[in-house]
Each structure stands twice: as structure tokens, then as C-alpha cells.
Structure 1
């Protein structure tokens, strides 16, 4: 099943753009400038307050972008509660449990920070915000998406 319906792609694109715009505005206004550690901590805890529907569309659209960028069946990326996709070449799902050997799970705010380039994979991983199992547990070369 697709992570976003084709008729919702424009809504998803708009939601992703709105999320990114809100993030940039908040970061420009509130990001601590002189203290690098404080700025990093701010970015890692950053999560704009936007309507749930917009969040859902933004996440689904960004997962769609990742799926197009790295097609395959070897790694499952889960951003609960709004979507899961399979990407990258590699061993496909076990026919008994339908889960590939590599699984990455992220919260929506973590995913959106990564997708938009607010934080890096290493920053989020070091902060313990990414759960990843398997050999291909690093998406840093695919991010940010926009």
C-alpha cells in the first residue's frame, strides 16, 4: 500500500513546504546563536506546533520522496503513526512476518527534522532518537530530502 494517495500528492507537497517554512521561521527567531551546544540542543528538541493533519501529510509526502529516491525492499522505515515504507535494495521481507531484516523507526518530529535538514542523522542517532536494527541502519546519505 502506498504511503500517500496519488490524489494527495499536492496536499502533501504543500504540507511539507509549510512544515519547512514554519521550522525555518522558528529557528530564525529562537535559535541560540552564540552557544553551539545550546543551539544543537534546541534543534534536537525542536518541533513546530502545527495541525495534526498537516503533520500527517508532511510525513507521508516526505516518506514518498524517500521511497522515490531509494526504491527497494531491503529496509523498512517507520514513522508512526503516519507511515512506513520499504527502501533500498537488499534482502526482501521474510514471507512469514513481512518485515525486512533492516528496520528503522523514528518519531514524526525526528523524521521531519532529518528530512528537512534541521538535524543530521548522527546528531539524532547520538541523542538516542533513532531506533535502527540491521546492517543498513544509516540513511544519512539520503537525507535531507529538501
Structure 2
């Protein structure tokens, strides 16, 4: 029997746009209250301080601006689910650009306000189908905005980890889109139907080669919450630590996802 072809997930464009703006707004509001000592705190991202992390969040959003400034590609040549695998190749350039942004924008509140204003203007100006040249390939604007939810959710979590008591909230739709994209990326990396990965309430995917489950309780099941999944997929949390701390439940001989993670590094 030929393998079942999985239909690509679709995202509601209006909800995605609202989610990007909402999560960026959450970050902007939280950062407004940070003082020099908090901005100088270290983060879990190597040498970056909180100031550089905030500058990077602005940079992740203005990636939309930079892509719209470039010529329109002739055709789409990649799907959004491939984006997570393209990020590692640009780590060096991202690091250098982030350092430059942190230096160039000493007033982070004013900088983030301008980023938000200009993003709103661009989203009003350009249709969702406008193709962009991205680090993963040519994608429609609305698909690329889904990748921005991943950037915003991941780095909101980095901010919360770096600044005690900050507690930047997560927009529900942004967290949902980020969770789903990273779950689908796992299914692309490890195609198959022997293992069911559940991230309630946002995502369920089948993955890993082996006997395909068709009815009843799957023999191999992994379940976790959305933030834990995002941390696993992006290398913020090791699989063995998540299992040991009972942040992941994994049952079945094909339920060990450790060798497949992280998806982004």
C-alpha cells in the first residue's frame, strides 16, 4: 500500500497577522519597564545580554521589512514547514547583525515602537500572497508571518527566563501557530505513522517509520505542553531532562524523540 500523503496545514491569515502584532506588543510593553541593570542581564543565548535579545526580537520582525524590500521571486519554491531547518545556516550572520542592532538603537522602546508602526503599515499595503525571498526559499508573506510567531514565542520565553519576574504573556494564537509549525516540522524530519505526538490543545502529528497505527490507542505516544514542545524543538530543553522532570510523557519503543531534536539550533 502506498504511503498516505499528508495534506499541508493551512493557517488563518488574519489570525496569524493579529498574533504577530499581539505577541510583539506583549514584548514591547514588557521591555518598556526594563532598567539598565535588567537590560545588562545575561541570557541563555551565549554572549547575548537582554538588550541584545530585545534587539534581536526587533530584527526578527523587521525581517519582513527587509524581505519586502527585495525583488519579488518568480515563484514559490518551498513550503513553510521547511523554514525551521534553514535557520541554523545563518547563525553567524544573525549574531553579528543583532550586535549591530543593539548598538544602533540605544532607545529600545522607541525602536520597537517604530518597528510596530512600520509593520502595521506594511501589512496594510501588501497582500498575503506577495512572495518573499527568505532564508528558506520563496514564501508568500502570510506563510512567512507564521515563522514570525515561532521567533516571537521562542524569544519571549528567552526573555522570561532571563529576567526574574518579567512574565511576558503569550498570545494564544501565536503560541498555537508556533506549536503547529514545529510539530509539522518533526513529521517532515521523521516521516511515518508509528508514533503519535500530542501537544494539546494545538497539535497532533504522526511521525517515525514503523508499523502504521490505524485504530484504538497508538502503541507509541508522546505528549507534552506547548511551551515544553517549543523548548525541545529549539534546543532550549534536552529531551532526557524533559522526560526526567515529567514534562514529557513517552510510551512505546518508538517514542524516544531525543535523536530527532532539536529541529532548530
TM-score by length of 2: 0.44
- C-alpha RMSD of matched pairs (Å): 2.4
1:115 corresponds to 2:233: yes
C-alpha deviation, 1:3, in angstroms? 7.3
Distance 2:170 2:239 in 1: 23
Distance 1:54 1:68 in 2: 21
Q: Tell me the matched-pair count.
A: 129
**Matched residue, 2:149:** 15
Deviations 1:7-37 (A, max 9, x none): 764333111111122223333444xxxxxxx
Match of 2:161 among 1, 9, 27: 27
Larger Rg: 2
- 8 A Cα contact 1:91 1:101, kept in partner: no
TM-score by length of 1: 0.77
More helix by share: 2
Change (3 A) 1:133 1:78: same
- 8 A Cα contact 1:101 1:134, kept in partner: yes
C-alpha deviation, 1:115, in angstroms? 1.0
**Matched residue, 1:58:** 178
C-alpha deviation, 1:137, in angstroms? 1.9
Deviations 1:103-138 (A, max 9, x none): 111111211111111110111111011111100121
SS in 2 for 1:125: helix
Deviations 1:35-56 (A, max 9, x none): xxxxxxxxxxxx8621001000
Distance 2:145 2:156 in 1: 16
- 8 A Cα contact 1:73 1:100, kept in partner: no
Structure 2 gap segments, 5+ residues each: 1-5, 14-141
